[in-house]
Structure 1
């Protein structure tokens, strides 16, 4: 793991995966114990773990990796806080707070948040700042992400495999990971410099902003901005090509077809015993309110489009408009007759 930064996102990751019956402290302890032994994590000193609010996870980490830095995914913090404090402006301000890179900037954005509600900041600070605010992250991992896009991408990537029999599922995931390693090595060979493409984009943006900075001299040997070196010298080695290739220097070896596997006396791997859950079983993951809705193939969203009536070919309504108008006219006539009858009786 020489080329990997010391951060592990627990949800779905290509470093290790396991099949369990449910997310509990016991299942998380089982998984983390093996991961701790294989990667020689010790007590977690110098390690960062990131996860959502999964059942039993926090207790298992505190017990097995007590010295690790523990981060929460900002989207899950937002989802819980959003239930009480809704609104588009609050959503935007939340992400400004989460992505602030200095504590002063975070406090400034938090003051702006307080103007959008009296107690919303108190509810937000119920979650430890060091777990979801970029300004409070430790620097040893060299990773400032506040989201889990890598894991969500992995989960979507193996979605077709997860509905198959357990041996077939694990074999297909193994093959996909083996192929991915080849793709990553080919990708590294397309780099035009020793710095990764995404890090290069960030570097170029920072160089562009630095052109507007002023260098202040103290009349001796000191300068306010820094030394006269190329900005590329300050890029961490984690974002360079040789480090990237080290992460993929160990390969998953191919194995024979399942029919060629030797027979053993070990117990057969069976799927976990299904537990009846209340309500109708779900086939899809429940998405957060801030997640984009994915349309089915061949379907186009009508949101934001103009409706055209198939009856009169005018825009702004559809043919159901006439049914509603007809119903309203019928109700209106009934009320008129009832009022006329009451007038005659009077």
Structure 2
């Protein structure tokens, strides 16, 4: 990939990484730790999960540690890319949907894919037209979950002149936040 598009961030599908991992390690706890590592949103949380994995199985830790962290865990994703997906399910679903068009001449194939996307967008627009919220249902649900979780955190102002720097903490973690 780097030969074709040098400098472009490349990510791995965590599902494929996990599937390859499970071929060697059958322990359900280890399998769960792989997902915890992939979903970790800060280096501290990622490192804690990796340490847990290392204590449980040094070989499993070495296997995961050989892959670049920037390619498979949210904790190290580049902020330039605005999507934090760790699986390529969207691509696989799209590829499965357009599979029936692949054998056609290129212009016909592209036209049919364009029409498929238009139909899909129209269907989604109809589903959302009666909603009063500004967010789509899935994003609204995530936001509501985060609101519930946020009451477990306490902000402490750091004393900076602008009032933008805080330490937020819950019973087991502390984070520095610069607004």
Tell me whether the two structures share a fold, i.e. TM-score over 0.5: yes
Report SS of the residue matched to 1:192. Answer: coil
Structure 1 unaligned segments of length 5 or more: list them.
Answer: 1-57, 227-346
Partner of 1:114: 54
Normalization by structure 2: what TM-score? Answer: 0.76
**1:69 aligned residue:** 9
Of 166, 171, 175 in structure 2, the residue corresponding to residue 224 of structure 1 is 166
| Aligned with residue 82 of structure 1, among 12, 15, 22 | 22
Q: Using CA pairs under 8 Å that are at least 6 residues apart, name the structure with larger relative contact order, 1 or 2.
A: 1
Distance 1:193 1:78 in 2: 36
Q: What is the TM-score with the length of structure 1 in the denominator? A: 0.42
Determine helix, strand or coil for the equivalent of 2:19: helix
1:279-331 Cα shifts (integer Å, max 9, x gaps): xxxxxxxxxxxxxxxxxxxxxxxxxxxxxxxxxxxxxxxxxxxxxxxxxxxxx
Contact 1:77–1:127 (8 Å) recurs in 2 = no
Measured on the aligned residues, the alpha-carbon RMSD in Å equals: 2.9
- Contact kept, 8 Å, 2:38 with 2:74, in 1: the verdict is yes
Q: Secondary structure at the match of 1:224?
A: strand
Q: What are structure 2's unaligned runs of at least 5 residues?
A: 169-179
Q: Is the 8 A contact 1:215 1:225 kept in 2?
A: yes
Q: Determine helix, strand or coil for the equivalent of 1:203.
A: helix
* 1:215–1:73 distance in 2 versus 1, CA, 3 Å: closer
Match 1:141 to one of 66, 81, 89: 81
Equivalent in 168, 178, 182 of residue 122 of structure 2: 182
Matched, 1:93 2:62: no
Q: 1:136 to 1:178 in 2, by over 3 A?
A: same
The corresponding residue for 1:256 is none
SS in 1 for 2:66: coil
Bigger strand share: 2
Deviations 1:162-183 (A, max 9, x none): 5x85249825434322312322
Aligned match of 1:166: 104
Distance 1:192 1:166, change over 3 A: same
Between structures 1 and 2, the one with greater helix share: 2
Q: Which residue number corresponds to residue 151 of structure 2?
A: 211
Bigger radius of gyration? 1
Instruction: Indicate the residue corresponding to 1:304 in structure 2.
Output: none
**2:74, 2:84 within 8 Å by CA — same for their partners in 1?**
yes
Q: Deviations over 1:104-155 (max 9, x none)?
A: 0001001111232232111111111110011000112221110011112223
Aligned residues: 164
**Structure 1: how far apart are the matches of 2:157 and 2:42?**
25
Most deviating of 198-207 and 122-131: 198-207
Mapped to 1, the partners of 2:63 and 2:97 lie a distance apart of 35
Provide, for residues 59-114 of structure 1, a one-character-per-residue CA deviation record: whole Å limited to 9, x for no partner.
xxx23421211111111222223322222221111101111001000010011112
* SS of equivalent residue, structure 1 residue 70: coil
